[in-house]
Amino acid sequence: MKKIIILLICFYGTFAHAQPYMIDQVVAIVGSKHIKQSDVEDMYREYRMQGYPMRGDMKCNLLEQLLTQKLLLNQAEVDSLVVEPSEVEMDLNRKLDIFIQQTGSQEAIEDWFKKSIYEIKDDLRKMLHDEKLAGKMQQNITENVRITPSEVRSFYNKIHRDSIPLIPGKVEVAQIVMHPPYSEDAISDVRQELLDLRRRIINGERFSVLAVMYSEDPSAARNGGDLGFQNRGDLDPEFVKAAWALKNPGDVSRIVESKFGYHIIQLIDKRGDQVNCRHILKTPKPNPEAITTVTGRLDTLVRLIRKDSLNWNLAALRYSQDEKTRFNGGLMINPNDYSTAFEMDQLEKTDFDVIKNMNVGEVSNPYESRDEKGRIVYKIIRLKERSDPHRANLRSDYSFLSDAALNDKMHKVIKEWVDEKIESSYIYIEESFKRCGLSNTNWLKQ
């Protein structure tokens, strides 16, 4: 069940340095929560940076979103709702990844915000905590909302024909993955690279800079190798052992071998049973003989599957080395929504290049790719399903339309809840915003 999307709030202070001086003031109060002029301005700048269309009085719309958020936060505190720090840290890492993609590096973020990365994280951590807390309150309000088939049909029939959503083409893909073994020479080369990097760090070079340049963990490398706060159970046991052995922030580990490859680790901070550290990951490169062996095995599987001498699902279970997919027939999982359907532009380039010319049911030849940790793998894939772009309809897209109808119904429930809470809450809105045209005029009744 999808959650209805209510945009809450963006990073406090985003692009504030671009405006050298601004007299801040409280522009609204909801119960015990204040909204400042800078909150609205920062949110507006964030929207412009993200390329959102600026329709109507955007600042007025943003204030209304913030007013709703404050109502939710007040009630969340009354209901004693809590957000676990680990939940916030995961969102924090994702947000920082986005910032790095937009600016190019951790150092560029620090320069842009005129703050250290630690200050940026502290500000963002509070922001995300409030956002998740308001989201939990929203879930509580709508947890018993259900939708019936007749309501879905009624919702669909009320959509103007020109406004019926366009459903993009999607594919379902199964894979059989093999990891080529590494020679002792390849392992020795990687260890020497890490020893050289460790020596450079000990001699004063910044770990984060070298992580961006050399680490083969793409998600962490964009963030200067920073993994954010992680629980012990979320990390490889050998990685955990090395990370917890570090005593002081800035300490750098010896070379650590994990199931992902070889690392050096730098401690950032510890909090109880959580650790925040940077790492540089390097993986050995397979030699030509290993590649020939693996591709030969995959070639054999392809021939047997194409001749119907071997069932695809059985082959995936027996031979695939991808633990995430081998037990479900090799079906790849979309990390964006955890479904098995991918839009073509959501696929890795190597997969895209192979799938674009395949027919449903066809099995590919072996090809080189990368797994989620950047390791070289070889795979074969089977195109299970393909759908063309089309206007949504009840026969093919009932699940999509059911979610849309449910979201619409939940939005109405939230609107009713907000109107009720406005009646019993202290609301103050500064005069200039009172005249801006809030869509819900109930905010102005007090």
pLDDT at 23: 58
Residues in the chain: 446
pLDDT at 139: 94
Domain count, the chain: 3
Which of 144, 158, 142, 155 minimizes the C-alpha distance to 401? 155
CATH number at residue 117: 1.10.4030.10
Q: Within 13 Å and on the Cβ side, how many CA atoms surround 301?
A: 29
pLDDT tens, position by position, 238-286: 998 999 999 999 999 999 998 888 999 999 988 777 888 999 999 888 8
Cβ(297)–Cβ(319) below 8 Å: yes
Tell me if 276 is assigned to some domain: yes
Residues 225 and 188 in one domain: yes
Residues 275 and 295 in one domain: no
Residues 235 and 140 in one domain: no
Q: What value does the mean pLDDT of the chain take?
A: 86
Cβ(245)–Cβ(231) below 8 Å: no
Domain end marker among 282, 297, 320? 282
Residues 25 and 136 in one domain: yes
- Choose between 411 and 85: higher pLDDT: 411
- Choose between 371 and 72: higher pLDDT: 72
Residues 124 and 243 in one domain: no
Tell me if 433 is assigned to some domain: yes
pLDDT at 57: 82
Task: Using DSSP, state whether 236 is helix, strand or coil.
Answer: coil
* pLDDT higher than threshold 90 for residue 125: no
Tell me if 161 is assigned to some domain: no
pLDDT at 374: 67
Q: What is the mean pLDDT of residues 358-385?
A: 90
β-pairing verdict for 376-387 and 367-370: antiparallel
Residues 268 and 311 in one domain: no
β-bridge mates for residue 278, sequence order = 226, 266
Tell me if 100 is assigned to some domain: yes
Q: What is the CA radius of gyration of the chain?
A: 26
Cβ(141)–Cβ(417) below 8 Å: yes
With bands split at pLDDT 50, 70 and 90, how would you rate the model's confidence at 116?
A: confident
pLDDT at 417: 95
Residues 205 and 142 in one domain: no
Tell me if 157 is assigned to some domain: no
Distance CA 87, CA 327 (A): 28
pTM of the model: 0.59
Tell me if 5 is assigned to some domain: no
Lowest mean pLDDT among 221-230, 241-250, 262-271, 393-402: 221-230
Tell me if 154 is assigned to some domain: no
Residues 384 and 407 in one domain: no
* pLDDT higher than threshold 80 for residue 425: yes
Residues 26 and 109 in one domain: yes
Residues 255 and 290 in one domain: no
Please give the residue range of the domain that contains residue 176: 170-182+286-390
* pLDDT higher than threshold 50 for residue 235: yes
Paired tokens of 333: 């999982």
Domain end marker among 257, 282, 307? 282
Tell me if 9 is assigned to some domain: no
pLDDT at 304: 97
Residues 45 and 88 in one domain: yes
CATH number at residue 220: 3.10.50.40
pLDDT at 10: 37
Domain end marker among 282, 314, 340? 282
Which of 324, 327, 321 minimizes the C-alpha distance to 297? 321
- Choose between 167 and 107: higher pLDDT: 167
Residues 175 and 317 in one domain: yes
